[in-house]
Amino acid sequence: MLDLDRRRALALGALIPLAAALPAWAQSPGAGPGGEPASEAAWDLTDLYPSLAAWDAARVAALAAIPGVAQYKGRLGESAETLTAALIQSSDIAKTASRVNIYASLIGDSDLRNAQAQERQSLARDLFSKLGEATSWQDPELLALGLPKVEALIAASAVLQRRFAFGLRDTFRTAEHSLDAKGELLLAGAGKPLSDPVSIRNQRLASDIAWPTVTLSDGHTQRLDDQGYTLVRDVPNREDRKKVFATFWGAYGQFRNSLGATYKAKLDGDVFRMKARNYPTSVAAALSGDNIPETVYRTLVAETNAGLPQLHRYFELRRRILGLPDMAYYDIYPPLVSLGRTFTLAEMRATTLEAVAPLGRDYVARLAQATAGKWMDPRPRPGKASGAYMNGGAYDVHPYLLLNLSDGYDGMSTYAHEWGHAMHTLLAKQAQPFELSGYPTFTAEIASTCNEVLLADYMLARAKTKQEKLFYLGQKMENIRGTFFRQAMFAEFELKTHDLAEAGEGLSGRRFNEVYLDLLNRYHGPKVAIDPAYAIEWAYIGHFYRNFYVYQYATSISAGTYFARDIQRRGVKAADNYLSVLRAGGSDYPVDILKRAGLDMTTPAPYRALVASFTETLDAAEALL
């Protein structure tokens, strides 16, 4: 019954990396643009463990406790007390494992050059694997007892009702996809080899590709690995951008066959799991864990395609504002308008607190208190992990945020985004027990997106010049392009490649290029020139190894925008309704949580509303021109 996929999700919190460009001052140790130190991590990890020795003692104790789970094997149906004791024991180990994992992960990401830190992360992950194997008998034993027996046990225990009833009933929901004890043990043991493709892919990118260096027209040179590409793909000079794209995707293209074989192995693993658990499709298997209807995924893809004329309209607007004779794929990233304004960390904090005021005084006060603590590592530095995430899986400790903030508006937007995740975590932990506090990814991005929308609207309302207004309108349009349309395109790619794998089609890097190029052309329209060499971009998207994950960015921006607009229209009642979603954590299925809040993600309405919001923003920008 111990759902380790949920526990791993809780341990990772909202560990959603955001591509964050590193400004020039971040390339070497020293001070950040606001004067704050940038040479060491700014968070205080002693709230997790006072020392490495204490961390290791907790890890060893958790490992030693795992064999004790077996004492309840064959006894779950004895009484409500026995079932409660068995589940509490497994849950307590999982809670410790989450905390152990987070501490190791945060130290490792503080400096990726620290080999010992990486080894500690491996030890921490091993806890989950061992616990998964040790508890693999629980679901088959519960299923053998039958739902009526388990319901009787739940009725006899207040602890089962409060902490475990949802998970117990969920076990029976997926009964037809559960195996016997031997089968579950085999699948648990297969977890590591089935995860090898992503490790192979990441190792290849890290050590096997000789990343080229490009020299730009101003004499600046840049090594074009994944991070370096994000630093210069938006440079002002168009010929430079074209050169960057040709060089970077050319480097990826040389490894098309091996990267294709790696992704094919990942697809084969998904099909294996689908068949082992008797699901009709890979997407059905992936969505089953959170009981998300397949209609959500397919409706999103259909409605995104219906909205593509507005996206094509945006690309034409982009061409006009940038003053280009035509539009190419390498013209997508430069900002429509340069603002030139910078923000210190203190200004980011103050502005975010003002922007989220519609969420109520209590929310703002809680956020003010949280942002005053040593919970985040805000600025980039050599050796630190790139991107941005919130890690909130330590139930008894506050969340932590790893950021790589620039000093521009994108940095402040990332700040608001990740603190939205942190507030979601704090509210869920306050309202729910450990077992129900780990919210699924489907709702995880709603809180962060809502904060971003409120921030953009706040800044736009206070913009004084046409230039400022165009800048913030451009930010809003880019957010929808990148988070809704682009992620839905990725989702469609995943759907198509899994369909091919399930049909037994021959798959290779060449075939993946064909599928991806077709999507690039359809999503960007006939007026955006796309070199076929860019089709290798699918190999750059690491999220494709997370199995039908990216679609949730698109559903979340739809939901987050809906709630932000509702709060702006109806005020405190709408804010309370929205906050009830955050407090719900993982106490129910995410689609049902949103339905209770008035939002049905199985229908076209949320996606059409987002496209309509995109259209309104386009109208406003065109009116300014």
Any idea which residues carry the catalytic annotation?
A: 418
Indicate the helix (H) or strand (E) that contains 269.
helix 256-276
Place of tokens 């369909």: 499
Beta-bridge mates of residue 427: none
Burial class (CB in 10 A: 0-12, 13-18, 19+), 622: middle
Letter for the amino acid at 312? H
Letter for the amino acid at 362? D
Alpha-carbon distance 259 to 253, whole Å? 9
Nearest-10 crossing angle of helices 551-570, 441-461: 50
Place of tokens 């501490």: 103
Burial 51-85 (b: 16+ CB within 10 A, else e): eeeebeebbeebbebbeebeebeeebbeebeebbb
Query: Is the sign of the CA dihedral 609, 615, 619, 620 positive or negative?
Result: positive
Contact 337, 321 (CB under 8 A): yes
Letter for the amino acid at 411? G
Alpha-carbon distance 62 to 128, whole Å? 10
Contact 171, 142 (CB under 8 A): yes
389-391, strands of its sheet edge to edge: 376-377, 400-402, 389-391
| Residue in 262, 580, 291 with CA at minimum distance from that of residue 446 | 580
Alpha-carbon distance 211 to 107, whole Å? 27
Alpha-carbon distance 472 to 624, whole Å? 12
Q: What is the DSSP string of 493-509?
A: HHHHHHHHHHTT----H
Contact 577, 598 (CB under 8 A): yes
Q: What is the CA radius of gyration of the chain?
A: 24
Tokens describing residue 59: 């890890």
Alpha-carbon distance 509 to 515, whole Å? 10
Q: How many CB atoms lie within 10 A of CB 529?
A: 14
Which spans in 356-465 are helix H? 361-371, 409-431, 434-437, 441-461
